[in-house]
Amino acid sequence: MQTFPLILENGHLLIALAEGSFLFDTGAPTSFGKVSPVNVAGQNFNLPPSYMGLTVDLLSTYVKRKTDGILGGDILNRFDLLIDVPQSRVCFSESPLDCLGEELALEEFMGVPILHANIAGESARMFFDTGAQISYFQGDSLSTFPAEGMINDFYPGIGPFSTETFRIPIQLGSSSNKIRCGQLPAMLGMTLMLAGTQGIVGNEVLLERMVGYFPRRHRLILM
């Protein structure tokens, strides 16, 4: 098992590899970076210089700090991960890990994990996206909850966009919380429909707990 620093800055999670700082992004099917290869848990991975028009320079502009790329599902999904934002670390293991906590089943679409949640009182299939600074829900009830102001975000292939956000209740298993939630642009909303999902659960659900992410076994453990 190898442990790397995990940095929370401007709402984004970045993993500090020897080769640089990369956005830690379960929602990105493909990694990319200005440095190649990168070494993760003893394995070397070659990275393309961009993904769907998103370059390292654009990414740095969007997240408001210098970055060296994205570490996405094509690399993350090869390991068992312990994501520990309170202790600013993430652990990678080639061997299966076990930990105590509530187990949630995961599905996947094109390498991106999907979990089941109750959002604003509605049962929903949601992408689990550690690269998302807020969550997104395409339900009609979104605007009935307390407003949290506008936010600027981005998405590969789409670029930057703005959305009004609201504070809405979410339940994952037996765990309840309130998260900041926006609505995706129409084109991205259509992508959700193609996958049979209703939204995106962002990294806010990770900020106060350790989570076991075991994509090879389709499991998420909330501790």
**For 118-175, how does the pLDDT look when each residue is reduced to its tens digit (9 = 90+)?**
998 889 999 999 999 999 998 888 989 999 999 999 988 888 999 999 999 999 999 9
Give the per-residue pLDDT at 64: 94
pLDDT in tens, 179-196: 999 999 888 888 888 899
Give the per-residue pLDDT at 186: 85
Confidence of residue 26 (pLDDT cuts 50, 70, 90): very high
| DSSP sequence for 151-187 | EEEEETTTEEEEEEEEEEEEEETTEEEEEEEE---HH
φ/ψ bin of 169: left (φ > 0), alpha (ψ from -120 to 50), beta (otherwise): beta
pLDDT in tens, 74-109: 999 999 999 999 999 999 999 999 899 999 999 999
Query: Do 34 and 68 form a contact (C-beta atoms < 8 A)?
Result: yes
Q: What is the mean pLDDT of residues 4-31?
A: 97
pLDDT at 35 over 90: yes
For the chain, give every domain's residue range: 2-93, 102-222
pLDDT in tens, 50-75: 999 999 999 999 999 999 999 999 99
**Measured CA distances, 161 to 34, 106, 132, 147, 157 (Å):** 24, 28, 13, 18, 12
| Beta-strand relationship, 69-71 and 20-24 | parallel
- Phi, psi of 186, rounded to the nearest 5 degrees: -55, -40
Q: What is the mean pLDDT of residues 14-19?
A: 98
As a whole number of angstroms, the distance between CA 215 and CA 81 comes to: 9
- Helix, strand or coil, per DSSP, at residue 109: strand
Third-level CATH fold of 102-222: Cathepsin D, subunit A; domain 1 (2.40.70)
pLDDT at 14 over 90: yes
pLDDT at 219 over 90: yes
Chain-centre distance for alpha carbon 38: 20
- Helix, strand or coil, per DSSP, at residue 111: coil
